[in-house]
């Protein structure tokens, strides 16, 4: 039988930290293991405060190995090396307990409490780690506001003072002078277009510079703290005046950008290479478009054109959709599925009761290895089956809810002449959208209930639906 793994996990949250202490503390444990069993996993420059489990592939790989029952022990310097988030830490502990994996904290001899195996106690300890992590993050953010590692337009000296950079000082001085004169969205758009080129910065960075009190030599996040180590471009009073003028303009600008980006469908694909396309802005940020030309004919559509085509297709589908039959069939099918699953669930519950009785009234009596007995393992398996039945019913119920929602939206559009809720209908009726040079192709859902219409609808440019 293949021996299970001993995983030695180490993590540092920034590039200027090293793993030497953690490596030294887990060395005695490594010396006790067979080399074939040892797996060393290092997460360099990885913040457990900023990144979720899904964004940490190495810890995700460890979790997968545990779930595959390939791990005997996991070693870490302390709890905070594995996780900072309470819920992630609890989920990990639960997984380890469920798969009989022991966690060894190598700093236990240095005052850190070892792994207890009790999910309640671990919860309390993980909660302390979570609070500590959030305090560290808060203090780091506060320090960065006052003493950022880098700040555009400044040179940070060895004495931790911030002097204006000679190269960018004229441009930034002009930037703050001109922005004081802006009092309309049109002027604001022109200003951004101009300084996008002069400072070579995107709009969000330009807005961030204009609204950052650091350039006035202050931290105004909570209270009013002057920063004597900063050589300011403007006074605090001028900064506050700029914020008063810009606040409504920035809101209007963001609303306009969001409107340009609005799309009824999820992001489309290129019809030639099937690559998922991402939205882009044109040079003056008055249009959002999708484009692809990688080894094939160029595809180019703006969001307005895609939305117009999508609305036309949705109207065509609704005209051919037998939504009443869809709802009746869905309801009948749901009842049938519930009966079948209920029957299987009742059978499983009978078997579960027998298995539980066999343990309660067993002649073998209680022993410390009771959890390894076959009848107990059978109970665990049957309990999982019961949960699967519930999960299956919930999934089918969700499909029925979606069909009821489709019925309601369609009735409102046809009978009550209400404005089409195109976005909601797209979620229910459109699977995929593919862009070609001269046409847009829509892959349609609910095909069994759409009559006299293909399951793929192609809309040609300046033509009707085919």
Encode pLDDT of 257-300 as tens digits: 888 778 878 889 999 999 989 888 887 777 889 999 888 989 99
- 374 with 362: CB under 8 angstroms? no
pLDDT in tens, 212-227: 999 999 988 777 888 9
Most confident option among 40-54, 126-140, 207-221: 207-221
Residue 328 has a pLDDT of: 55
Taking 70 as the threshold, does the pLDDT of residue 409 lie above it?
Answer: no
Per CATH, the number for 154-261 is 3.90.1750.20
CA distance 74 to 40: 10
Average pLDDT (81-106) is 88
pLDDT in tens, 329-339: 555 555 665 66
Structure tokens at 14: 């920034």
Average pLDDT (21-42) is 90
CA distance 422 to 444: 14
pLDDT band at residue 50 under the 50/70/90 scheme:
confident
Taking 90 as the threshold, does the pLDDT of residue 322 lie above it?
Answer: no
Residue 149 has a pLDDT of: 87
Average pLDDT (177-181) is 94
Average pLDDT (455-464) is 65
Taking 70 as the threshold, does the pLDDT of residue 420 lie above it?
Answer: no
Residue 225 has a pLDDT of: 86
Whole-number percent of the chain with pLDDT over 90: 32
Whole-number percent of the chain with pLDDT over 70: 68
Average pLDDT (358-367) is 57
CA distance 267 to 433: 8
Which one is predicted more confidently, 92 or 284? 92
Taking 60 as the threshold, does the pLDDT of residue 347 lie above it?
Answer: yes
User: From the CB of residue 134, how many other CB atoms can be counted at a distance below 10 Å?
Assistant: 14
pTM of the model: 0.47
Least confident range from 91-95, 114-118, 304-308, 409-413: namely: 409-413
Residue 318 has a pLDDT of: 75
Sign of CA dihedral 51, 53, 55, 60: positive
User: From the CB of residue 208, how many other CB atoms can be counted at a distance below 10 Å?
Assistant: 12
Taking 50 as the threshold, does the pLDDT of residue 466 lie above it?
Answer: no
Residue 465 has a pLDDT of: 40
pLDDT band at residue 256 under the 50/70/90 scheme:
confident
Average pLDDT (22-42) is 90
- 288 with 278: CB under 8 angstroms? no
Output the 3-class SS for the chain: CCCCEEEEEEECCCCCCCCHHHHHHHHHHHHCCCHHHEEEEEECCCCCCCCCHHHCHHHHHHHHHHHCCCEEEEEECCHHHHCCCHHHHHHHHHHHHHCCCEEEECCHHHCCCCCCCCHHHHHHHHHHHHHHHHHHHHHHHHHHHHCCCCCCCEEECCCCCEEECCCCHHHHHHHHHHHCCCCCHHHHHHHHHHHHHHCCCCHHHHHHHHCCHHHHCEECCCCCEECCCECCCCCHHHHHHHHHHHHHHHHHHHHHHHHHHCCCCCCCEECCCCCECCCEECCCCCCEEEEECCCCCCEEEEHHHHHHHHHHHHHHHHHCECHHHHHHHHHHHHHHHHHHHHHHHHHHHHHHHHHHHHHHCCCCCCCCCHHHCHHHHHHHHHHHHHHHHHHHHHHHHHHHHHHHHHHHHHHHHHCCCCCCCHHHHHHHHEEEEEECCCEEEEEECCHHHECCCCCEEEEECCCCEC
pLDDT band at residue 462 under the 50/70/90 scheme:
very low
pLDDT in tens, 51-83: 888 899 999 999 999 999 999 999 998 888 888
Residue 58 has a pLDDT of: 93
Taking domain 5-145, whether its CATH number is 3.40.50.1390 is answered by yes
Residue 246 has a pLDDT of: 92
The ranges assigned to domains in the chain are: 5-145, 154-261
β-sheet with 280-281: strand ranges across: 280-281, 288-292, 299-302
């Amino acid at each position: 039988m293949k021996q299970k793994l001993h995983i030695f996990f180490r993590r540092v949250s920034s590039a200027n930290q090293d793993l030497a202490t953690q490596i030294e503390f887990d060395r005695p444990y490594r010396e006790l293991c067979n080399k074939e069993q040892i797996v060393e996993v290092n997460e360099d420059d990885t913040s457990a405060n900023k990144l979720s489990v899904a964004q940490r592939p190495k810890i995700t790989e460890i979790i997968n190995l545990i779930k595959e029952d390939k791990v005997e022990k996991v070693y870490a310097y302390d709890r905070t090396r594995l996780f900072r988030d309470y819920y992630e830490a609890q989920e990990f502990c639960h997984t380890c307990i469920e798969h009989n994996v022991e966690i060894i904290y190598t700093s236990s001899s240095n005052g850190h409490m070892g792994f207890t195996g009790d999910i309640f106690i671990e919860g309390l300890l993980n909660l302390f780690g979570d609070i500590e992590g959030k305090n560290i993050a808060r203090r780091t953010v506060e320090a960065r506001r006052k003493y950022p590692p880098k700040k555009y337009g400044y040179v940070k000296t060895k004495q931790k003072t911030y002097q204006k950079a000679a190269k960018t000082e004229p441009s930034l001085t002009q930037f703050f002078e001109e922005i004081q004169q802006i009092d309309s969205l049109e002027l604001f758009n022109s200003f951004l277009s101009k300084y996008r080129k002069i400072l070579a910065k995107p709009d969000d960075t330009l807005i961030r510079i204009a609204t950052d009190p650091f350039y006035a030599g202050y931290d105004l996040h909570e209270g009013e703290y002057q920063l004597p180590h900063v050589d300011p471009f403007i006074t605090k009073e001028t900064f506050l005046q700029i914020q008063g003028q810009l606040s409504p303009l920035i809101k209007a600008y963001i609303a306009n950008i969001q409107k340009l980006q609005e799309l009824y469908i999820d992001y489309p694909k290129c019809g030639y290479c099937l690559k998922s396309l991402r939205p882009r802005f044109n040079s003056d940020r008055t249009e959002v478009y999708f484009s692809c030309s990688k080894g094939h004919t160029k595809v180019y559509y703006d969001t307005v054109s895609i939305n117009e085509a999508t609305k036309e297709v949705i109207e065509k589908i609704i005209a051919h959709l037998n939504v009443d039959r869809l709802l009746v069939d869905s309801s009948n099918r749901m009842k049938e599925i519930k009966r079948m699953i209920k029957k299987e669930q009742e059978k499983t519950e009978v078997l579960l009761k027998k298995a539980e009785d066999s343990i309660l009234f067993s002649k073998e009596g209680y022993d410390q290895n009771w959890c390894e007995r076959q009848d107990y393992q059978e109970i665990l398996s049957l309990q999982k089956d019961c949960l699967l039945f519930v999960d299956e019913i919930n999934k089918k119920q969700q499909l029925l809810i979606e069909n009821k929602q489709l019925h309601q939206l369609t009735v409102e559009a046809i009978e009550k002449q209400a404005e089409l809720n195109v976005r909601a209908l797209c979620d229910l009726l459109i699977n995929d959208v593919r862009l070609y040079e001269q046409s847009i192709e829509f892959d349609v859902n609910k095909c069994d209930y759409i009559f006299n219409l293909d399951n793929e609808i192609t809309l040609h440019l300046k033509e009707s639906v085919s």
